[in-house]
């Protein structure tokens, strides 16, 4: 006899077996994996979806809903936590994590989707009965009914501190970011309330999937021609980019399957193109990508180098990631080499290269829209962890390039401690001059005062990539 069948029924209320809804059970499983195993949502979801789709009753629409529930719940977790906290009579840390996950899933359906209120509550309570048991489902029911009495705007007005009292705390609750990240993004972006609100809101949007036609192997027109006009658009800024419309499957595109194209944010494409086009006196034969894994920018650089008669050395510390680089570069029209090496103790001689890209490991605060759980995992102390490595790798880059050659220092974080602070510190010890990178982003607006370039999701539709171009002068 299981626990449920032993439970006495309430008079006049016949026992109703909960509906086992595969979409919500899958979303719950994914959230538990993220919470319990520190899994990444973008890695944990695809196998769960694949397994579910092997069953006839789980179709593409179910997969889209499950994805939206997981990503949306994780992104908006900060806002939902504040609302749930106002509806329970104990501190959130005393609520069991699986119960909190079910409540957050319910809150997202009620406040962040168009699912009708009654359906959101009953589907979530059914989920609670399946995964938590009847007793805790009652608690879930009571909390969700409280949440459902107001819409998101009214809740925010109730739970967020007024902007005038504490602007960063207000924005943290409204836009569901940790306060320290709001503060760091605002420091880097500058300006007033409108800009930072737009940026934080953009972090909560689902990003487009962008493809890159790898130079010398495919063109954006080839890819656009092979897809119908409704499923793809040209890139906004990169001549190699193709933007897929919602629900587009990169794996269904021949050029992607054949390795002639890949999935790559337009910001990353622009960084690689800018380094390749930076003005250079003298030879332009030897290029280095010193942090190449998994190979997105290296594949672009290798193609661009081939067009110029140059050779790319793609180096990556982690051997398995070096393997991914080799896979991305296979089929490149010109010569290249892939090695596994620690960029802080390089095996090549000083002054070997004409162009060097150092796309260093960083907090990834510029790609929060892609990794919905990342903002809750990152800690300010992570910056201290990356700081020596970022400086060491930039020092290597400046040492590896010949005098007169150009280094591109890139991050997918706009945090000033990972961008300008690193460049300024290293240039105090090594000889180099900053080049104005902005003209190398033709047609891209709002690039600030230079000489470095910071891209932004809300202004450019890209990840917040950073690029400083430095010419070695001594
Ligand atoms: C931001 S990722 C690079 C992304 C890559 N440029 C792309 O576009 O696909 C940073 C890479 O640096 C590698 N890395 C970390 N420490 C390194 C080191 N000491 N030397 C070389 N590579 C390192 C990481 O394994 C990671 O693959």
pLDDT along the chain (474 residues), means of 10: 39 63 96 95 94 87 95 97 97 96 98 97 97 96 98 98 98 98 98 98 94 97 89 95 87 94 98 98 97 98 98 98 98 97 98 98 97 96 98 98 98 98 97 98 97 98 98 94
Q: Is 296 in the pocket of ligand 1 (CB under 6 A)?
A: yes
* Separation between Cα atoms, residue 26 and residue 324, nearest integer Å: 29
Q: Is 271 in the pocket of ligand 1 (CB under 6 A)?
A: no
Ligand 1, atom 12: closest residue by C-alpha: 291
The ligand 1 atom at the shortest distance from the C-alpha of residue 343 is 20
Rounded to the nearest whole angstrom, what is the distance from the C-alpha of residue 210 to the centroid of ligand 1?
A: 21
Q: Is 391 in the pocket of ligand 1 (CB under 6 A)?
A: no
Rounded to the nearest whole angstrom, what is the distance from the C-alpha of residue 316 to the centroid of ligand 1?
A: 6
Ligand 1, atom 23: closest residue by C-alpha: 317
* Separation between Cα atoms, residue 451 and residue 390, nearest integer Å: 20
Ligand 1, atom 16: closest residue by C-alpha: 317
Rounded to the nearest whole angstrom, what is the distance from the C-alpha of residue 467 to the centroid of ligand 1?
A: 15
Give residue 227's pLDDT.
87
Contacts of 245-249 with CB under 8 Å at 24 or more apart are: 246/206, 247/60, 247/64, 248/209
Q: Is 361 in the pocket of ligand 1 (CB under 6 A)?
A: yes
Rounded to the nearest whole angstrom, what is the distance from the C-alpha of residue 292 to the centroid of ligand 1?
A: 5
DSSP at 297: H
Give residue 15's pLDDT.
61
Give residue 119's pLDDT.
97
* Separation between Cα atoms, residue 197 and residue 377, nearest integer Å: 22
The ligand 1 atom at the shortest distance from the C-alpha of residue 264 is 8
Q: Is 286 in the pocket of ligand 1 (CB under 6 A)?
A: no
**Residues involved in catalysis:** 412
Q: Is 321 in the pocket of ligand 1 (CB under 6 A)?
A: yes
Rounded to the nearest whole angstrom, what is the distance from the C-alpha of residue 287 to the centroid of ligand 1?
A: 16
Tell me phi and psi for residue 466, to 5 degrees.
Answer: -120, 140
Q: Is 359 in the pocket of ligand 1 (CB under 6 A)?
A: yes
Q: Is 342 in the pocket of ligand 1 (CB under 6 A)?
A: yes
Give residue 10's pLDDT.
45
CA-to-CA separations, 313 to 70, 136, 340, in angstroms, rounded = 39, 58, 11
Rounded to the nearest whole angstrom, what is the distance from the C-alpha of residue 385 to the centroid of ligand 1?
A: 15
Ligand 1, atom 13: closest residue by C-alpha: 291
- Locate 432 and state its tokens: 């180099």
Give residue 246's pLDDT.
77
Q: Tokens 């300024």 map to which residue?
A: 424
Give residue 19's pLDDT.
72
Residue of 269, 303, 313, 317 with the most ligand 1 atoms within 8 Å of its CB, for mutation: 317
Q: Is 294 in the pocket of ligand 1 (CB under 6 A)?
A: yes
Give residue 4's pLDDT.
37
Q: Is 323 in the pocket of ligand 1 (CB under 6 A)?
A: no
Residue of 272, 339, 343, 361 with the most ligand 1 atoms within 8 Å of its CB, for mutation: 361
Q: Is 388 in the pocket of ligand 1 (CB under 6 A)?
A: no
Q: Could you give the dihedral angle defined by the CA atoms of residues 326, 331, 333 and 338, in that order, rounded to the nearest 10 degrees?
A: 10
Tell me phi and psi for residue 332, to 5 degrees.
Answer: -60, 140
Rounded to the nearest whole angstrom, what is the distance from the C-alpha of residue 348 to the centroid of ligand 1?
A: 17
Give the DSSP H/E element, type plus range, for residue 459.
helix 457-460
Q: Tokens 């470095």 map to which residue?
A: 452
Rounded to the nearest whole angstrom, what is the distance from the C-alpha of residue 360 to the centroid of ligand 1?
A: 6
Is the four-CA dihedral 140, 143, 148, 154 of positive or negative sign? negative
* Separation between Cα atoms, residue 105 and residue 130, nearest integer Å: 14
DSSP at 402: E
């Amino acid at each position: 006899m299981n626990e449920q069948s032993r439970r006495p029924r309430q008079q006049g209320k016949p026992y109703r077996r909960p509906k086992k809804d595969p979409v919500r059970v899958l979303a719950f499983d994914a959230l538990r994996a993220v919470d319990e195993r520190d899994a990444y949502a973008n890695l944990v979801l695809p196998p769960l979806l694949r397994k579910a789709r092997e069953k006839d009753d789980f179709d593409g629409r179910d997969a889209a809903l499950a994805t939206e529930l997981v990503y949306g719940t994780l992104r908006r977790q900060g806002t939902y936590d504040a609302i749930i906290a106002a509806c329970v009579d104990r501190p959130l840390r005393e609520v069991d994590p699986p119960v909190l996950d079910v409540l957050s899933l319910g809150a997202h359906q009620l406040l962040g989707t168009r699912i009708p209120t009654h359906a959101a509550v009953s589907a979530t309570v059914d989920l609670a009965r399946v995964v938590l048991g009847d007793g805790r489902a009652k608690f879930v029911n009571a909390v969700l009914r409280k949440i459902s009495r107001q819409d998101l705007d009214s809740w925010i007005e109730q739970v967020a501190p007024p902007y005038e009292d504490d602007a960063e705390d207000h924005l943290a609750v409204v836009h569901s970011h940790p306060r320290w990240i709001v503060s760091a993004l605002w420091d880097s972006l500058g300006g007033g309330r409108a800009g930072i609100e737009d940026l934080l809101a953009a972090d909560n949007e689902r990003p487009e999937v962008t493809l890159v036609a790898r130079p010398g192997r495919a063109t954006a027109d080839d890819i656009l021609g092979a897809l119908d006009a409704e499923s793809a658009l040209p890139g906004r800024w990169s001549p190699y980019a193709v933007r897929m419309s919602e629900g587009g499957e990169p794996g269904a595109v021949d050029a992607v399957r054949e390795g002639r194209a890949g999935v790559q944010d337009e910001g990353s494409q622009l960084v690689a193109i800018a380094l390749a086009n930076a003005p250079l006196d003298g030879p332009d034969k030897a290029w280095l990508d010193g942090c190449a894994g998994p190979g997105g920018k290296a594949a672009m650089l290798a193609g661009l180098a081939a067009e110029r008669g140059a050779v790319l050395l793609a180096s990556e510390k982690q051997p398995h990631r070096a393997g991914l680089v080799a896979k991305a570069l296979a089929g490149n029209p010109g010569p290249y080499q892939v090695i596994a090496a620690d960029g802080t103790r390089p095996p090549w001689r000083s002054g070997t290269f004409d162009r060097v890209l150092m796309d260093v490991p960083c907090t990834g605060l510029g790609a929060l829209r892609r990794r919905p759980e990342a903002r809750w995992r990152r800690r300010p102390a992570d910056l201290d962890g990356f700081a020596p490595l970022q400086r060491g790798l930039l020092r290597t880059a400046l040492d590896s390039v010949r005098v007169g050659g150009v280094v591109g220092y890139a991050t997918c974080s706009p945090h000033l401690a990972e961008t300008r602070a690193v460049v300024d510190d290293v240039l105090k010890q090594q000889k180099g001059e900053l080049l104005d990178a902005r003209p190398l982003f033709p047609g891209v607006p709002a690039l600030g005062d230079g000489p470095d370039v910071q891209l932004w999701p809300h202004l450019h539709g890209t990840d917040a990539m950073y690029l400083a171009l430095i010419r070695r002068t001594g």
